[in-house]
Structure 1
Amino acid sequence: MTLIYGHRGAKGEAPENTLVGFQQCLTHGVRRCELDLHLSKDGELMVIHDPTLKRTTGRRGKVVEQDAEDLIHYDARQGGPGWKHPCPIPRLSELFEKCDFDHWQLEVKSASRVRAARTVLAIRELAEHHGLLERITVTSGSREVLRALKRLTPELSCGLVAEYAWLDPLKVAKQYGCDLLALKWTLCTPERIAKARQQGLHVSVWTVNEPALMRRLADFGVDSLITDYPGLAVTTLRNG
């Protein structure tokens, strides 16, 4: 059975990477989610996709230049589906407290060596505090982040985010000891999926929003789909 992950919560249904988006995902019975992380100036894990605030909050500046206490008061519902009430940027700790997901894909964007180290150590500490080590896979397309995971937090499950095939994603995933391959849907072939699964990788494909594509990828044998529309995915896959 193909599993479903809500992309940035439920990006097509509610403001991305906000508490209401993750709650929306859960209302469909989808108990897996994908989200993006950046560190605040004071080292807290903030749930936001871009390194800058402009696209989702309309504010100027970078996440890393602001303290968490300020960031959680910024309304992040800009540019998404309409929503009546303000939707603040959440701390990851808030989502861990309020959303009971079976599994979390936590994507860390590219980072310097120092920043990558600080980020993965912060994730481990928070995951341990909430008893969620077994329910988390930290994913990244950044070699620096994958290296930090392997070196500093080997107890965390890790995954490669692959958007291009200029390097063989399966070789890279093996090199860094990944458990999961988050593959852009355009890179999906039945052969690649079969090889990945032989290698023991969970193949999670993004971003899949069309019912026909959902069905096709499920037929290919992918382990999970990451979608902006978890409600649509549930209906589509349930009806085969």
Structure 2
Amino acid sequence: MTLIYGHRGAKGESPENTLASFQHCLSHGVKHCELDLHLSRDGELMVIHDPSLKRTTGRRGKVAEHDAEELETYDARKGGPGWLRPCPIPRLATLFEQCDFEHWQLEVKSASRTRAARTVLAIQALTERFGLKDKVTVTSSSREVLRALNRLAPELSRGLVAEYAWLDPLKVAKHHGCDMLALNWTLCTPERLLRAQKQGLHVSVWTVNEPALMRRLADFGADSIITDFPGVAAKTLGLR
């Protein structure tokens, strides 16, 4: 059975990485989600894809230059599907409080050694506070982040985000003790999928928006797909 993860909530249907987007994902009966994290200036985990505020809020500057309380007032509807109400940048804590997902993929972007450590420790503290340690996998393409997870929070599930084939993703995932391989769909051949699963990896394929591709990857035996359109995926594959 192929699981469905809503990409940044329901990115194709509502403003990405906002509370509205995750609630929209849940409204389709899709109980798994993927999201992106950056630390605010005061060390809060904020749910936003880019290090910059420009694309989704139209504001200048970086997430790391603003405190969480300020970031929560910024409307992140820009560039997404039309939406009537303002959609602030949420704290991860707010989503943990208000969204009942069965599993969360928390992606951390590239970071310096110090920032990777701060982010990992913040995730560790928040998952402990909400009792969600077994419902979270922290994913990254950054070796610094994966090393920090191994060093500082070995109890947390971790996953490698693989977008390019210049390094064997299975070797990298094994080296860092990963449980999950978040694999760009263009890299997902039946042979690689089988090898990864034999290695004990959950293979989550992204970003899968076309029904025909959803069906093909499900036929291949992908463990999960990550999609901008969880409503389309739910109808195509049945609720998983």
TM-score (norm 2): 0.99
Partner amino acid for 2:217?
Answer: L
Shift in Å, 1:119: 0.1
Q: Confirm or deny that 1:159 pairs with 2:159.
A: yes
Deviations along 1:35-68, whole A, 9 cap, x unmatched?
A: 0000000000000000000000000000000000
Aligned to 2:18: 18
Counterpart in 2 of 1:133?
A: 133
Distance 1:16 1:193 in 2: 28
User: 2:54 matched to which residue of 1?
Assistant: 54
Does residue 209 of structure 2 align to residue 209 of structure 1?
A: yes
* Matched AA of 1:188: C
SS at 1:24 equivalent:
helix
Amino acid across the alignment from 2:208: V
- SS of the aligned residue for 1:20 comes to helix
Matches of 2:24 and 2:69, distance apart in 1 = 25
Partners of 1:27 and 1:71 lie apart in 2 by 26
Secondary structure (helix, strand or coil) at the match of 1:205 reads: strand
Structure 1 SS opposite 2:197:
helix
**Aligned residue number for residue 88 of structure 1:** 88
How far is the alpha carbon of 1:238 from its aligned partner?
Answer: 2.3
The 2-side partners of 1:81 and 1:206 are apart by: 20
SS state of the match for residue 215, structure 1? Answer: helix
Q: Distance in 1 between matches of 2:134 and 2:233?
A: 25
Match of 2:113 in 1: 113
* Contiguous gaps of at least 5 residues in structure 1: none
- C-alpha separation in 1, matches of 2:197 and 2:237: 21
CA distance in 2, matches of 1:26, 1:124: 24
- May I ask how many residue pairs the two structures share in their alignment? 239
Q: Percent identity?
A: 78
SS in 2 for 1:192: helix
Instruction: Spell out the pairing of 1:1-240 with structure 2 (5 A cutoff).
Output: 1-238=1-238
- For residues 7 and 203 of structure 1, the distance between their equivalents in structure 2, rounded to whole angstroms, comes to 15
Q: What SS does the corresponding residue of 2:139 show, helix, strand or coil?
A: strand
TM-align CA RMSD: 0.7
2-structure distance, mates of 1:238, 1:126:
32
Is the partner of 1:195 in helix, strand or coil?
helix
Hey, what's the Cα distance between the residues in 2 that align with 1:221 and 1:195? 12
1:178-232 deviation per Cα after TM superposition (whole angstroms, max 9, x unaligned): 0000000000100000000000000000000000000001111100000000000
How big is the shift at 1:80?
0.3
AA aligned to 1:65 is E
The Cα shift of 1:154 comes to 0.1
Q: Counterpart of 1:25 in structure 2: which amino acid?
A: C
**3-state SS in 1 of match to 2:6:** strand
**Partner secondary structure for residue 212 of structure 1:** helix
Displacement of 1:81 in angstroms is: 0.2
Query: Letter of the aligned partner of 1:16 in structure 2?
Result: E
- Separation in 2, partners of 1:115, 1:156: 18
Partner SS, residue 167 of structure 2: coil
- Per the normalisation by structure 1, the TM-score is 0.99
Q: Tell me which amino acid in the other structure corresponds to 2:102.
A: D
Q: In the aligned structure 1, how far is the partner of 2:47 from the partner of 2:64?
A: 12
The secondary structure found in structure 1 opposite 2:231 is: helix
Question: Which whole-Å CA distance do the structure 1 matches of 2:181 and 2:11 have between them?
Answer: 21
Q: Any gaps of 5 or more consecutive residues in structure 2? A: none
